[in-house]
Structure 1
Amino acid sequence: MPLLNKPSSSRSLTRLRIALTVFFALDGFLFAGWVVRIPAIKEQTGASASDLGLALLGVSAGAVVTMTLTGRLCRRFGSRPLTVAAAVLLSLGIALPARTHSALGLGLVLLVFGAAYGGINVAMNSVAVDLVAALRRPVMPGFHAAFSLGGMIGAGLGGLVAAGLPASSHLLVLTVTGLAVTAAAGPVLLRHPSPAVHESTGRTASPGDLGDDPVHPSRRTRRLVAVFGVIALCTAYGEGALADWGALHLEQDLGAHAGVAAAGYSLFALAMTAGRLSGTTLLERLGQTRTLVAGGATAAAGMLLGSLAPTVWPALLGFAVTGLGLANIFPVAVARAGALAGPGGVATASTLGYGGMLLGPPAIGFLADWFSLPVALTTVAALAATASVIGYAVRRVPAGTAAEERAENRRPFAVSAPVRAEPCRSEPS
């Protein structure tokens, strides 16, 4: 196996990292381009809040079913081919909602979109876990920063064209863009070999550390993976809620202009991007426990302001604070699950996490009908606080990289002694 300090290996890892970053950014760009057109699609279909919530459940159903299968598919066919295939399907699927004229039809086409969205997120994160292991640095937040940056750009452009461009034309442009980006970055992702690390490099945190086979982890490992999945769920719920209902809250409850309302999600995505760009440094200096606890508490406070503020500008500030708080919680949770159980761990945590992102919007819709949309959005704060509590409760689970372990051991929230590991594989042998 090649040594990581060889120039050819370093260049290969760099190219893989860049290509994977592009796919994360594309995922965020396409998803945000869809969510900022939800008000237009709602008007087009004549759906009520409850009907729209049920239609959005199609995204959830498609994604969750796909996520439960993608971990196995990654082990059989490789995470990188699945990433490329799912990106193609996602690009094609995003044009479908604008072709519907009923809540039922919308829900059916969103099954396809959700299946692609679920598949690409599990596959991408599986590739990312391998790269984090090979690079021996907690760089997972950087990939998710690309997702947030893509979301910010997608939402910003969507806000600019919302008033003058029909949703059907906008989503068709997104399809063409997605296919073009996939055609450019896909061969790079597929061409280069999988990350390989020499046994003497001193890797950290893998299934083998707990005495598990990555394909058949122990019951304890499965429970730990589920716990990290719940942390991901609690925070992804907030991302989904703000993506699908944030613009509507600003426009409907606070009287914001359509462009300002769309910019609300863009501001949230910008704050998440800034938080994730600094995530590697934050994790190396503070460790995962403090990052999780502080992030959850910050997001809870921000969302209380964002949902209950009486005017637009404090609500926008609350959205930004929420983005900063949530920024690094999800990537840390998925990375820890992947380090514990390989692609299967990523699939489990992603299923729970993205399930929260996708099931949250329908739940918000029902709560908005029963109570009000501002009250419904306060559940985001409650779940962020829950993630903070759970993050402290699992403080003694080994960290994912040597740098993180050193940071944890320097802090009052200490963890157990550092462990060594082999890389998590998402490619078939």
Structure 2
Amino acid sequence: MTDSPWGPARVALTSIFAVDGFLFAAWVVRIPDIRSQVSASHSALGLALLCLSIGAVLTMPMVGRLCLRYGSRPVTVGSLALLSVAVLLPAHAHSVSTLGAVLLLFGAGYGGANVAMNSVAVELVAQLRRPVMPSFHAGYSFGGLLGTGVCGLLAGSLSTAWALALSGVLGMAVTVGAGAVLLRSPAAAPVAPAAPGRTDRTADQSGRAGADAGPARSRTRLLVVLLGLTALCTAYGEGAIADWTTLHLTDDVHASSVVAATGYGAYAFAMATGRVSGTWLSIRLGQTRLMLLGGLTAAVGMLVAALAPAVPVAICGFVLVGLGLANLFPLSIARAGAAGGPQGVAFASSLGYGGMLIGPVVIGFLADAAGLPLALTTVAVAATLAALLPLSVGRRLGVE
């Protein structure tokens, strides 16, 4: 017996994805205020932001094991509760070292919630027998957009401490309400993954496949590495945009804090729109062409956003970046899975998170050395690489 297409479990999980995006956006739009609060240079702030990524990356493998032992649904609830508490803490940090420490905890909650809720999403996809995974990630994007809009509008009238506290209360309310629904809903039985490359062929064909297994494995590893590098380049850009957009708009383009939050919101809306239309575009254009056009669009948009002296032009650039980057990461991970199975997904995802890890800190050091606008142009370089790498992958896979 399967759930209805929009049964309670799916609605609850979509709410969890959305509030996860909301809480992260609530933190992002307050980065300029917190930077001033702790009197951090660009490089010092970059190191503090690195702690958030470190907390997430260190937590993810442990949360994966907890999901296997206790189930993904209770771990999702616990991780989101931790994130809802941790989002309050940056407002009370008064030194860079303290900020780094609280961001480790924030990263642990954020990374744990993302691993656990995606595990639940995989269960629901199998239970519903529908390809509904994009709807969950669209929920995350629109939650981030809502968080950016609400928290940005309140930036001029509400202190950082109150804004993050109210965001945490919302997060805890969704944790309790949606978590209760999720825990009460029956979980699907785990589905054993199919072995990649196995078909019902004759014994002679199987023998020939075995003889070719060595070169095939080498080719698969190369494909997964190329796709992983695509994910890394994309995540580098996403991490840099998330952590440095509002600072660039306030410090370099002289936008107000409200307008700067609007700029990040425009990027987030473009990202969400691109993801909603990603399946249709993949069918119409082919995955390789979509990734090529997306990466080149992001590169052009980043150059405009980084170098334009006027606020409206810079925001238009960030919109192009959001549209361009929207489908690069999901498509690279999906194609890595098609080429290398679950191990391909794991390897490409690890490289992708590596890009998210190094992006903010690299931008911070380059900003101190050459200025934030020039540092942000490295995102355009990374996006160009993300556009070109799939061309090689497409030729080897024989797909568009």
Where 1:9 maps in the other structure, the secondary structure is coil
**TM-score under structure 2 length normalisation:** 0.86
Alignment of 1:42-53 (within 5 A): 42-53=35-46
Q: Which moved more, 1:227-236 or 1:263-272?
A: 227-236
Alignment of 1:374-413 (within 5 A): 374-395=373-394
| Counterpart check, 1:142 vs 2:129 | no
Structure 1 pair 197–72 and aligned structure 2 pair: CA distance change class (3 A): closer
In 2, Cα distance between the equivalents of 1:384 and 1:65?
26
| Cα deviations by residue, 1:55-77 (Å, 9 ceiling, x for unpaired) | 11110111111123333333333
Structure 1 pair 337–188 and aligned structure 2 pair: CA distance change class (3 A): farther
In 2, Cα distance between the equivalents of 1:360 and 1:198?
36
1:122–1:347 contact (8 Å) kept in structure 2: no
| Cα deviations by residue, 1:121-176 (Å, 9 ceiling, x for unpaired) | 22223333444456666543332222111111111112111112111111111111
| Counterpart check, 1:27 vs 2:20 | yes
| Counterpart check, 1:414 vs 2:399 | yes
In 1, Cα distance between the equivalents of 2:365 and 2:122?
36
Alignment match of 1:122 (pick from 106, 110, 115): 115
In 1, Cα distance between the equivalents of 2:346 and 2:97?
29
Which residue in the other structure is 1:156 paired with? 149
2:226–2:390 contact (8 Å) kept in structure 1: no
In 2, Cα distance between the equivalents of 1:15 and 1:381?
42
Q: Which moved more, 1:284-293 or 1:58-67?
A: 284-293
Structure 1 pair 196–291 and aligned structure 2 pair: CA distance change class (3 A): farther
In 1, Cα distance between the equivalents of 2:221 and 2:174?
36
Which residue in the other structure is 2:162 paired with? 169
Structure 2 unaligned residues grouped into runs of 5+: 199-216
Which residue in the other structure is 2:368 paired with? 369
Alignment of 1:14-413 (within 5 A): 14-132=7-125, 139-195=132-188, 207-210=194-197, 227-337=226-336, 341-342=341-342, 348-395=347-394
Q: Which moved more, 1:190-199 or 1:370-379?
A: 190-199
In 1, Cα distance between the equivalents of 2:108 and 2:396?
32
In 1, Cα distance between the equivalents of 2:311 and 2:376?
15
1:59–1:107 contact (8 Å) kept in structure 2: yes
In 1, Cα distance between the equivalents of 2:9 and 2:231?
25
Structure 1 pair 94–376 and aligned structure 2 pair: CA distance change class (3 A): same
Cα distance, 1:198 vs. partner?
9.9
Q: Relative contact order: is structure 1 or structure 2 higher (C-alpha 8 Å, sep ≥ 6)? A: 1
1:234–1:386 contact (8 Å) kept in structure 2: yes
Q: Which moved more, 1:127-136 or 1:75-84?
A: 127-136
Q: Match of 1:65, as an amino acid?
A: L
Cα distance, 1:319 vs. partner?
0.2
1:126–1:338 contact (8 Å) kept in structure 2: no
Q: Match of 2:311, as an amino acid?
A: V
Structure 1 pair 164–151 and aligned structure 2 pair: CA distance change class (3 A): same
Larger-gyration structure (1/2): 2
Where 2:94 maps in the other structure, the secondary structure is coil
In 1, Cα distance between the equivalents of 2:353 and 2:92?
25
Q: Match of 1:359, as an amino acid?
A: I
Which residue in the other structure is 1:424 paired with? none
Q: Which moved more, 1:179-188 or 1:219-228?
A: 219-228
Structure 1 unaligned residues grouped into runs of 5+: 1-7, 200-205, 212-217, 399-412, 416-429
Structure 1 pair 394–196 and aligned structure 2 pair: CA distance change class (3 A): farther
Which residue in the other structure is 2:213 paired with? none
**TM-score under structure 1 length normalisation:** 0.81
Q: Which moved more, 1:48-57 or 1:103-112?
A: 48-57
| Cα deviations by residue, 1:46-101 (Å, 9 ceiling, x for unpaired) | 11111111111110111111123333333333333322221111111111111110
Please state which structure has a larger fraction of its residues in helix: 2
Cα distance, 1:329 vs. partner?
1.8
How many pairs were matched up? 381
In 2, Cα distance between the equivalents of 1:356 and 1:394?
20
1:368–1:375 contact (8 Å) kept in structure 2: yes
